[in-house]
Amino acid sequence: MTALRFVKTVWESFRATSGLEPRLLNNLKVTAARPGTVNFELEIQKEHTNRLSILHGGTIASMVDLGGSLAVASRGLYATGVSTDLNVTYLNSGGRVGDKIMAKLTFMKEVTCDKFGKTLAYTNIKFTNAKGEVVARGSHTKYVSIAWKDPQNIVEEINKLQ
């Protein structure tokens, strides 16, 4: 199974079983994935905005959380662990209803899993708007020790793709 197909499977699991993601990020689209990286975009809708009618910081924080989880999934873990640390720096307005925000690492549209160990996984993300301006950046640390035991993991299969 490719990393992209597996990440999309994990994303569908989030959508089917979580309370938050299907309500807030249901229209998030995973556009690409390879081991350690995931690209996605979100078309901003009213439920993603604050009272100023611009992208809400909580939406971005939720995408940092989900993006980190999907980056871990791109390494083959179905159970993506739990958050131990999440940080967001807001740099510009993310946009308004109808605009798109994209997960992006400098020069590439992606979330990266920078370090992937037996206990912790460290991810980084940058968001850009349609003009290519950096909107926000984030980091997310996940405790993955127990996630390694999930029978739906495909770590060995993903490692062969690298």
For residue 43, list its beta bridge partners.
100
State the chain's mean pLDDT as an integer: 90
Q: How far apart are CA 159 and CA 149, in angstroms?
A: 17
Q: Residue 118 is which amino acid?
A: K
pLDDT of residue 109: 38
Give the DSSP per-residue string, 107-162.
TB--EEEEEE-SSEEEEEEEEEETT--EEEEEEEEEE-TTGGG-TT--HHHHHHH-
pLDDT of residue 161: 66
Residue written as tokens 């984030």? 138
Q: Looking at residues 101-121, what average pLDDT do you find? A: 68
How many helices (DSSP H) and strands (DSSP E) are in the chain?
4, 7
pLDDT of residue 162: 63
Q: How far apart are CA 52 and CA 144, in angstroms?
A: 37
- Record the pTM: 0.91
pLDDT of residue 157: 83
Q: Looking at residues 68-82, what average pLDDT do you find? A: 95
Q: How far apart are CA 111 and CA 71, in angstroms?
A: 6
pLDDT band at 89 (very low <50, low <70, confident <90, very high): very high
Q: What is the pLDDT of residues 40-67, one digit of tens each?
A: 999 999 999 999 999 999 999 999 999 9
CATH H-level, domain 3-154: superfamily: Hotdog Thioesterase (3.10.129.10)
Q: How far apart are CA 87 and CA 149, in angstroms?
A: 27
pLDDT band at 113 (very low <50, low <70, confident <90, very high): confident
Point out the least confidently predicted range of 2-16, 27-41, 99-113.
Answer: 99-113
Assess whether pLDDT exceeds 80 at residue 144.
yes
What are the backbone angles phi and psi of residue 124, rounded to the nearest 5°?
Answer: -135, 150
pLDDT of residue 110: 52
pLDDT of residue 108: 33
Domain ranges of the chain: 3-154
What are the backbone angles phi and psi of residue 112, rounded to the nearest 5°?
Answer: -115, 145
Q: Looking at residues 9-31, what average pLDDT do you find? A: 96
Residue written as tokens 């994935």? 33
